[in-house]
Amino acid sequence: MTGRKSKKSYPLRIHADILLAMQRWSDDELRSLNAQIEYVLRDALRSAGRLKEHPPSVTRVEAQKEK
Domains and CATH numbers, the chain: 13-52 (1.10.1220)
- Summarize the confidence of residues 41-65 as an average pLDDT: 75
CB-CB contact of 46 with 53 (8 Å): yes
Q: In the prediction, which pLDDT does 50 show?
A: 93
Query: Does residue 42 have a pLDDT over 90?
Result: yes
Higher-scoring residue by pLDDT: 24, 56: 24
pTM: 0.68
Burial of 47 (0-12, 13-18, 19+ CB in 10 A): exposed
